[in-house]
């Protein structure tokens, strides 16, 4: 019984993995023609990116402020609170920026993408496109996927900038760390490789979160419950995959 259940789970996992992979290749094939409609793509970058700005900036500010407090508390024990700028910058650029942004993206833009596409399926809009000989992968899925992939690194960059401002606000303005030391140590210690690591992570998270959101919406059961479940799966799968990819990339960069 248990072995059968296990086998069933493994088969289901492998089948889903295969379906997602095939979907990904179909999506990639439709990305080039979708770029021929820049208006659609720009609209989706706006939807996934600009509409997530407030939550990203607010979260970035608070994460930066907490980083400033905790970093200061830790560093002053060693008498090296001047290194707060470096600690905050590395923490944000390499880990917190990409990961927290991806988690927030999955919750804000990912759910929005899934429910939008799922509702289009439930209300026959995707079928109507197919009947008009228009591939919904090109018109609906690909622009949203590209929008998410482009928006994610931009959101991460904004998160990092606001986060650094938050860390500086707490560390320098409240806790009294020297402004010159804060910025100059950051400038001298943060290397291009650290920035590149963050950029690569943000792009990888953009691919993963957007793919899951679009896939789940496209394959949602055409009912209210089906769309709800697909939206939940988007958040869960995106979050877990983000953390898994983060570990793998971090290990690869070390």
| Total Cβ atoms within 10 A of residue 2 | 6
Question: Where do the DSSP E strands lie in the chain?
Answer: none
Give the separation between CA 160 and CA 156, rounded to whole angstroms. Answer: 6
Q: In this chain, which stretch among 3-11, 131-139, 157-165, 233-241 interacts with another protein, using CB under 8 A? A: 131-139
Taking CB under 8 A as the criterion, the residue among 128, 224, 236, 248 binding another protein is: 128
Give the separation between CA 24 and CA 14, rounded to whole angstroms. Answer: 15
What is the pattern of x (binds another protein, CB under 8 A) and - over residues 95-124?
Answer: -------------------------x--xx
Q: What one-character-per-residue DSSP string does 149-162 give? A: HHHHHHHHHHHHHH
* Binding of residue 191 to another protein (CB under 8 A): no
Give the separation between CA 204 and CA 200, rounded to whole angstroms. Answer: 6
Give the separation between CA 191 and CA 52, rounded to whole angstroms. Answer: 29
For CA atoms 66, 242, 226, 50, give the dihedral sign. Answer: positive
* Binding of residue 145 to another protein (CB under 8 A): no
| Total Cβ atoms within 10 A of residue 116 | 17
Beta carbon nearer to another protein, 29 or 229: 29
Compute and round to an integer the Cα radius of gyration of the chain: 21
Q: Nearest CA to 175 among 43, 81, 241?
A: 81
Taking CB under 8 A as the criterion, the residue among 76, 125, 189, 250 binding another protein is: 125
Taking CB under 8 A as the criterion, the residue among 1, 3, 4, 133 binding another protein is: 133
* Binding of residue 244 to another protein (CB under 8 A): no
Contacts 24+ apart (CB under 8 A), 243-246: 243/99, 245/201, 245/204, 245/205, 245/208, 246/95, 246/98, 246/99, 246/201, 246/205
* Binding of residue 9 to another protein (CB under 8 A): no
> In the complex, what is the shortest distance from the CB of residue 51 to another protein, in angstroms, rounded to a whole number?
14
* Binding of residue 223 to another protein (CB under 8 A): no
Q: In this chain, which stretch among 125-133, 177-185, 188-196, 225-233 interacts with another protein, using CB under 8 A? A: 125-133
* Binding of residue 25 to another protein (CB under 8 A): no
Q: In this chain, which stretch among 88-96, 129-137, 167-175, 180-188 interacts with another protein, using CB under 8 A? A: 129-137
> In the complex, what is the shortest distance from the CB of residue 133 to another protein, in angstroms, rounded to a whole number?
4
* Binding of residue 134 to another protein (CB under 8 A): yes
Taking CB under 8 A as the criterion, the residue among 3, 4, 5, 132 binding another protein is: 132
> In the complex, what is the shortest distance from the CB of residue 15 to another protein, in angstroms, rounded to a whole number?
16
Read off the tokens for 173.
């303005």
Taking CB under 8 A as the criterion, the residue among 1, 5, 131, 192 binding another protein is: 131
Residues that bind another protein (CB under 8 A): 120, 123-125, 127-135, 139
């Amino acid at each position: 019984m248990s072995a059968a259940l296990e086998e069933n789970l493994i088969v289901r996992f492998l089948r889903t993995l295969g379906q997602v992979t095939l979907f990904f290749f179909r999506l990639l094939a439709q990305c080039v023609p979708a770029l021929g409609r820049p208006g659609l793509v720009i609209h989706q970058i706006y939807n996934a990116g600009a509409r997530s700005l407030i939550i990203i900036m607010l979260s970035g500010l608070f994460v930066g402020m907490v980083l400033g407090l905790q970093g200061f508390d830790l560093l002053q024990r060693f008498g090296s609170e001047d290194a707060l700028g470096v600690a905050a910058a590395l923490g944000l650029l390499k880990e917190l920026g990409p990961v927290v942004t991806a988690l927030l993206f999955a919750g804000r833009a990912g759910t929005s993408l899934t429910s939008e596409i799922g509702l289009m399926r439930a209300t026959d809009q995707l079928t109507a496109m197919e009947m008009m000989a228009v591939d919904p992968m090109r018109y609906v899925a690909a622009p949203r996927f590209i929008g998410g992939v482009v928006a994610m690194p931009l959101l991460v960059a904004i998160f990092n900038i606001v986060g650094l401002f938050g860390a500086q606000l707490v560390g320098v303005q409240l806790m009294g760390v020297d402004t010159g030391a804060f910025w100059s140590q950051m400038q001298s210690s943060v290397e291009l490789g650290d920035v590149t690591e963050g950029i690569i992570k943000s792009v990888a998270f953009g691919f993963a979160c957007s793919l899951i959101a679009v896939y789940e919406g496209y394959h949602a059961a055409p009912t209210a419950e089906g769309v709800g479940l697909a939206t939940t799966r988007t958040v869960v799968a995106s979050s877990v995959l983000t953390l898994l990819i983060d570990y793998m990339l971090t290990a690869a960069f070390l």
